[in-house]
Structure 1
Amino acid sequence: MTTASLDLTSCNKFVHQFEKVIEKPLKTKSSVYYTGVDLGTACIVLAVLDENYQPVAGAYKYANVVKDGMVVDYIGAIHIVRELKEKLEAELETELLFAASAIPPGTNELDSGAIRNVIQSAGFELTNLLDEPTAANQVMDIQNGAIVDIGGGTTGISILKDGEVIKVADEATGGTHLSLVVAGAYKLPFEEAELYKRNKKNHGELIHVLQPVVEKIGSIILRQIEGYQVDAIYLVGGSACLNGMEQIIEKVTKIPTFKPEQPLFVTPLGIGKSCTEDILE
């Protein structure tokens, strides 16, 4: 096992804790609760952490209220976030006040207002808004390398040096594009293709069908990191769940590539760890 892969041990442990509390929330006393709200293209995730920033509850719902990293159905997004918020409040028997969220890198001027409106309209006080790969690093704690958040519509990249983000970028191509290829190859409606892609039992055959799209993602990463010293690539995001994706990207970039055991939950947990009690002006 390499040093780079060892870096993910604590990340995987933290994510496993979260997976457990999704099934069985911890009703421990906490002076405050911090919620990470990840408005993904394919999935909306809420991660609730206690005063010590440890996972106590979580919920998620697959939805299509976001497209290519942008909110396209405001009312639908508000309803889902509010629904998940109320579910978690009932489980924890408390009110969830503070939330943080994230946006694809480089889209701050375009979509930060929309995200803010969704979070606030769902009943939260927004305390932080950061880019998705940087949020993921709150859990991964990578000092040097590139964190690549492969979402439904876009691929976001953060390059880190000595723990500091020195570049962020975002390009179209993600899970939606993978699903479109599946739909075409298997002659399925898009929604059915999406479900077929999520089923890990199908990944063995799908990785060959989807190889050209994954290679394109690898090319995007390679273009964005050009001129930077990047010794390792770390994949997160729901679309990174595709088994075998990391091997293809490593082959394209010729850079060791790793991913956590459950890439879907890393970013929402990182968002939760970025939440405070200071309301964002």
Structure 2
Amino acid sequence: MSEKRVNFEYCDQLVEKFEQVCEKPELHKSSVYYTGVDLGTACVVVAVLDENYEPVAGCYKYADVVRDGMVVDYIGAVQIVREMKQELEEKLDTELVYAAAAIPPGTETVDSGAVENVVRGAGFTLSNLLDEPTAANEVLKIQNGAVVDIGGGTTGISIFKDGKVVYIADEPTGGTHFSLVLSGAYKMPFEDAEVFKRDPDNHKEIFPVLKPVIEKVAAIINEHIEGHQVEEISLVGGTCCLTGIEGTIEKKTGIYTHKPRNPMFVTPLGIALSCRQEEYEGKW
């Protein structure tokens, strides 16, 4: 079995296990817990791993506290994360002390402090802060390729060479733009378009409408990977849940493109894998 296939299976199995524990947490006691907080534009996700780095609990909530990768409702974000923390602590009958978090690549000078303060304000001790695609690669384990995190507001790109980050970028195109296009095409409120696009039963119908935006994302990827030896592309982020998006991006980039099982959960799991049992001292 190829190394790529092994990595993909690890990713998909981890995501599948996380989906299961979101519904029914694993209640066995662990000596430590590793927590990841993903403040997404459309969805906030908290993932908890045990001492063996296996998912034991998690929850997610659709929210409008982040826009274009930036925290715009600090109080709302703190409240949501605090409530999720308390919910998970009750389910696991333990205190969750340390948590890692992530930010869109290239935004460390403008938003890392806000994300850090949200996590601390919710009652966690922040243990790590990294960029989202790099966090996702903790799960994907790409050696020579690109991780493309298509979130609600932005598309983040991290290019890896020999498993190390050599380039990062972030562009303002994402799921919000998909919803705006649908809102205009179907003459429905933006909020309704957001819900409409999440339903897999609608994907075949809306795909032709969204194809120009997907092609724009592919053009962004092409622009940033030019000059780099990119052997594969892995798509993560909630927007990538759209059925068929990987085919269009592969066609436009000419590079093998992989989409994991439920790409919305890859980054938060990678954040949790990056959690440490010590306080973050700041590197940005």
Distance 1:157-1:2 versus aligned 2 partners, 3 A rule: same
Cα distance in 2 for residues equivalent to 1:246 and 1:57: 29
Secondary structure of residue in 1 paired with 2:51: coil
- Pair 174,2 (structure 1): closer, same or farther in 2 beyond 3 Å: farther
Name structure 1 gaps, 5 residues minimum.
none
Q: Given the alignment of the two structures, is residue 63 of structure 1 paired with residue 71 of structure 2, yes or no?
A: no
Task: Tell me the alpha carbon deviations over residues 167-211 of structure 1, each in whole angstroms, 9 at most, x when there is no partner.
Answer: 111100000000000100100100000000000000001111100
**Residue aligning to 1:274:** 274
- Could you give the per-residue CA deviations for residues 80-103 of structure 1, whole angstroms, max 9, x where no partner exists? 000111110110011111000000
**Cα distance, 1:143 vs. partner?**
1.0
Whole-Å Cα distance in 2 between the matches of residues 220 and 2 of structure 1?
29
Letter of the structure 2 residue corresponding to residue 17 of structure 1: K
Call closer, same or farther: CA 1:242–1:2 in 2, change over 3 Å.
farther
Cα distance per residue 1:98-132 (max 9 Å; x no partner): 00000000000100100011000000000000000
Partner in structure 1 of residue 89 of structure 2: 89
The question of whether the paired residues in 2 share the 8 Å contact of 1:5 and 1:258 is answered with no
1:163 counterpart = 2:152:
no
Q: TM-score, normalised by structure 1?
A: 0.98
Instruction: Provide the rounded CA distance (Å) in 2 between the counterparts of 1:3 and 1:118.
Output: 38
**Match of residue 179 from structure 1:** 179
Q: Secondary structure at the match of 2:212?
A: helix
Give the direction of change, closer, same or farther, for the CA distance of 1:51–1:3 in structure 2 (3 Å limit).
closer
Report the equivalent of 1:110.
110
SS of 1:280's equivalent in the other structure is: coil
- Name 1:154's counterpart in structure 2: 154
Q: Report how many residues are paired.
A: 281
Q: Does 1:77 align with 2:71?
A: no
| Contact 1:104-1:170 within 8 A present in 2 as well | yes
Query: CA separation in 2, counterparts of 1:261 and 1:126?
Result: 28
Percent identical across equivalent pairs?
Answer: 64
1:209 aligns with 2:223: no
In 1, the alpha carbon distance for the partners of 2:4 and 2:191 equals 36
Matched AA of 2:76 = G
| Residue-by-residue CA offset, 1:44-83 (whole Å, 9 max, x unaligned) | 0000011121110000000010000000000000000001
State the partner residue of 1:140: 140
1:2 Cα deviation from its structure 2 partner? 8.0
Equivalent residue letter for 2:45:
V
* 2:198 partner amino acid: R
Please state if 1:7 is matched with 2:7: yes
What is the identity, as a one-letter code, of the residue corresponding to 2:57?
A: A
| CA-based RMSD | 1.2
Q: Which 5+ residue runs of structure 2 have no aligned equivalent?
A: none
The residue aligned with 1:123 is 123
Structure 2 residue 253 is matched with structure 1 residue 253:
yes
- Separation in structure 1 between the aligned mates of residue 270 and residue 126 of structure 2, nearest angstrom: 15
Q: CA deviation at 1:7?
A: 3.3
Q: Determine the C-alpha separation between the residues in 2 that align with 1:94 and 1:279.
A: 19
In the alignment, the residues of structure 2 paired with residue 251 and residue 52 of structure 1 have an alpha-carbon distance, to the nearest angstrom, of: 39
What CA distance in whole angstroms lies between the structure 2 residues aligned with 1:38 and 1:6? 26
Alpha-carbon separation, structure 1, partners of 2:54 and 2:253? 35
Contact 1:4 1:232 in 2 (8 A): no
